Structure 1
Amino acid sequence: MAASLSGDLRGRTVAAVEGGSSIRQAAARFAVSPSAAVKPVRRVRETGSAAPGRVGGHRDPVLGPHEAFLRFLLAVRRGVTLREMRAGLRLRGVEVAALSTVHRALVRMGLRHGKSR
């Protein structure tokens, strides 16, 4: 991933465009790509600031609200598979694309699934 532009360079690019230069001219003047010049200008128009937006961060678990249902499935049927759990969630209107999503939810809850050893 390429490094983001410094705040100073973002500000100078925006100032050049606001001063009458085209975005491509400003990009050439400051030796950045045209897309790197477009982004801070667009951000100033949308938010009033050329500062970059947040990258990354914490997301709430997708299946967090359905923890009770997953516990119920495991209690009712001992050898339930991840596919069967996903099918049960789908019947409840919860679309889960990857089986790993169900697995991570179980791990987060401290539960196990599959055959007993």
Structure 2
Amino acid sequence: MMARPLSLDLRQRVAAALAGGMTVRAAALRFGISAATAVRIGQLDRSGRGLAPAKMGGHVKPMLRGAAADAVHRRLAAKTDWTVRALAADLKAAGIDVSHDTVWRFLRREGKTFKKNANRQRAGQAEGGALPKPLEEPSTST
């Protein structure tokens, strides 16, 4: 069973009981709610913010769907060496308002990865020097 907010009717009855002088614990016992919930209902009633339940659920991560997803696929088919930020900037220029993070998550879900070096070879030194020598064999004690 999924959690759901208490009905407005129950909230109003709890608030009326608390306003009528009933203790928080007695109201909680009478209406079958926790004492903490009764306290919160009393606080809402006294503050004048209303007793209606707040929206349930959290943030939904933005996703690329439909025409936006097709636009990403078309761009990747035409040019394969995009950076995520450049792809996001190109989509923004085309009128698709999207962040680079949303593009990155979309590409991850699609199974696309971006490697810095396609051959997976070790990059050279920044100043053009020689590569370090490979590790030597461990010395053995004789």
Q: TM-score, normalised on structure 1? A: 0.56
The aligned residue for residue 56 of structure 2 is: 54
Contact kept in structure 1, 2:44 and 2:51, CA below 8 Å: no
Structure 2 portions without partners, runs of 5+:
25-34, 120-142
Following TM superposition, the consecutive aligned residue runs of length 4 or more in structure 1 with deviations greater than 3 angstroms are: 16-20, 35-39
Aligned partners of 2:78, 2:62: CA distance in 1, in Å?
Answer: 24
Q: Give the one of 15, 18, 21 matched to 1:17.
A: 15
Pairing 1:96–2:98 present = yes
Alignment RMSD, CA only? Answer: 4.2
- Give the aligned partner of residue 72 of structure 1: 74
Query: Does 2:113 correspond to 1:112?
Result: yes
1:72: how far off? 1.5
Structure 2: distance between partners of 1:82 and 1:73:
12
For 1:69 and 1:42, the matched residues in 2 are separated by: 45
Change (3 A) 1:113 1:70: farther
Deviation at 1:103, TM superposition (A): 0.8
Match of 2:51 in 1: 42
Asked if the contact 2:12–2:51 (Cα under 8 Å) also holds between the matched residues in 1, the reply is no
Q: What is the CA distance between 1:102 and its match in structure 2?
A: 0.6
Which stretches in structure 1 are left out of the alignment for 5+ residues? 44-49
Q: Which has the larger radius of gyration?
A: 2
Report 1 or 2 for greater relative contact order, CA contacts < 8 Å, sequence distance ≥ 6: 1
Q: Higher helix proportion, which one?
A: 1
Contact 1:82 1:102 (8 Å CA) reproduced: yes
Displacement of 1:7 after TM fit? Answer: 4.7
Partner of 2:140: none
- d(CA) in 2 for partners of 1:95 and 1:36? 41
User: Partners of 2:112 and 2:46 in 1: how far apart?
Assistant: 49
1:86 shift after superposition: 0.7
In the TM superposition, residue 106 of structure 1 has moved relative to its aligned partner by 0.8
